């Protein structure tokens, strides 16, 4: 299954989840700057989100790049506080968003080496492996992570994606259902179910799922493109409608 590029609102959600799920190291008192690292990171992240969503964008009238300045400040936190889990996750997300998977992977590996649970980091690490075509690693890695975080929806959803890429469609259905039951976003679950229906040779059922995904998230281009392609290839699919 293909995952959509992470928009800032998705990144903000993942970062919020990381603030909640990441543990802290208590054995050594952190530097003074690290005592306010959560608040500092939150301020910088919201500032970056506000700048990106503003009408003026990242560039100032003088030509300065406000987004780049904020990204540098967020990156600086990982040098000042190298074991601050949310800062590592934030920078991994930014690197992934900037299409720098090598840097993102390095940051995620550093985060996963910290002896607490980091399921959101594991999800992104698994996605990077899939996008690199390393399906065996993704499957093995995600299986290990699911044993550590048995009730994490994102891990099961990503594992379902890995199973789909591996051609293990029925197993993918099972784990996607588990992800849905654990609270995975319904719009994404519908899209992934559409991919599975296509793989099973059921274009009309796939179209229903894509339409459902678009009903829940109208601005998502991936299900829109899949639905358009199906309607072009199967004229009878034009009559298929999502149930009210």
22-36, 52-66, 204-218, 229-243: range with lowest mean pLDDT = 22-36
Measured CA to CA, the distance from residue 9 to residue 200 in angstroms comes to 33
Q: Are residues 158 and 223 in the same domain?
A: no
pTM (two decimals)? 0.79
Q: Are residues 64 and 29 in the same domain?
A: yes
Quote the pLDDT of residue 55: 74
Q: Are residues 46 and 86 in the same domain?
A: yes
Q: Count up the domains in the chain and report the number.
A: 3
Report, as an integer, the average pLDDT of 197-206. 94
What DSSP line would sit under 104-128, residue for residue?
Answer: HHHHHHHHHTSSS--HHHHHHHHHH
Burial bucket for residue 202 (CB in 10 Å: 0-12, 13-18, 19+):
middle
Higher pLDDT: 223 or 26? It is 223
- Token pair in block for residue 7: 């928009």
Q: Are residues 179 and 191 in the same domain?
A: no
Measured CA to CA, the distance from residue 42 to residue 12 in angstroms comes to 10
242: pLDDT strictly greater than 50: no
Measured CA to CA, the distance from residue 14 to residue 181 in angstroms comes to 19
The answer to whether position 126 is within a domain reads no
Q: Are residues 56 and 142 in the same domain?
A: no
Q: Are residues 172 and 66 in the same domain?
A: no
pLDDT tens digits, one per residue of 55-72: 777 877 677 788 999 999
The answer to whether position 193 is within a domain reads yes
Non-local CB neighbours of 80 within 8 Å, separated by 6+ positions: 31, 33, 34, 37
9: pLDDT strictly greater than 90: no
Q: Are residues 143 and 209 in the same domain?
A: no
Quote the pLDDT of residue 36: 87
26: pLDDT strictly greater than 60: no
The answer to whether position 48 is within a domain reads yes
Cα angle 6, 11, 17 (rounded to 5 degrees) comes to: 135
Burial bucket for residue 195 (CB in 10 Å: 0-12, 13-18, 19+):
buried
Quote the pLDDT of residue 241: 52
Q: Are residues 23 and 82 in the same domain?
A: yes
Q: Are residues 11 and 32 in the same domain?
A: yes
The answer to whether position 117 is within a domain reads no
Measured CA to CA, the distance from residue 38 to residue 211 in angstroms comes to 40
Quote the pLDDT of residue 4: 41
Q: Are residues 151 and 242 in the same domain?
A: no
Report, as an integer, the average pLDDT of 70-84. 92
The answer to whether position 234 is within a domain reads yes
The answer to whether position 123 is within a domain reads no
Rank 22-26, 36-40, 153-157 by mean pLDDT and report only the highest: 153-157
Residue-range definition of the domain harbouring residue 98:
1-111
The answer to whether position 174 is within a domain reads yes
202: pLDDT strictly greater than 70: yes
Which pairs from 214-222 meet CB under 8 Å and 24+ separation? 215/242, 216/186, 216/187, 216/190, 217/187, 220/4, 220/187, 220/191, 221/4, 222/2, 222/4, 222/191
Measured CA to CA, the distance from residue 78 to residue 88 in angstroms comes to 6
Q: Are residues 142 and 220 in the same domain?
A: no
By three-state DSSP, how is residue 145 classified?
helix
């Amino acid at each position: 299954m293909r995952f959509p590029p992470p928009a800032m609102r998705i990144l903000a959600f993942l970062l919020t989840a990381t603030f909640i799920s990441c543990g802290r190291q208590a054995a050594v008192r952190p530097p003074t700057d690290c005592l306010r690292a959560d608040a500092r990171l939150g301020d910088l992240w919201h500032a970056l989100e506000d700048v990106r969503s503003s009408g003026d964008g990242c560039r100032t009238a003088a030509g300065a790049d406000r987004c780049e300045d904020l990204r540098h400040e967020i990156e600086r936190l990982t040098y000042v506080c190298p074991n601050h889990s949310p800062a590592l996750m934030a920078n991994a997300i930014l690197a992934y968003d900037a299409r720098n998977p090598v840097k993102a992977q390095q940051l995620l590996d550093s985060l996963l080496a910290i002896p607490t649970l980091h399921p959101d980091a594991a999800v992104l690490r698994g996605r990077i492996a899939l996008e690199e075509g390393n399906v065996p690693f993704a499957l093995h890695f995600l299986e290990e992570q699911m044993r550590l975080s048995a009730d994490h929806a994102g891990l099961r959803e990503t594992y379902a994606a890995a199973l789909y890429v591996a051609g293990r469609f029925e197993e993918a259905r099972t784990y996607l259902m588990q992800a849905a039951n654990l609270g995975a976003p319904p719009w994404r679950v519908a899209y992934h179910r559409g991919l599975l229906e296509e793989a099973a040779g059921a274009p009309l059922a796939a179209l229903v799922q894509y339409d459902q995904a678009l009903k829940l998230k109208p601005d998502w281009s991936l299900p829109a493109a899949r639905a358009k392609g199906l309607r072009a290839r199967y004229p009878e699919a034009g009559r298929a409608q999502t149930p009210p």
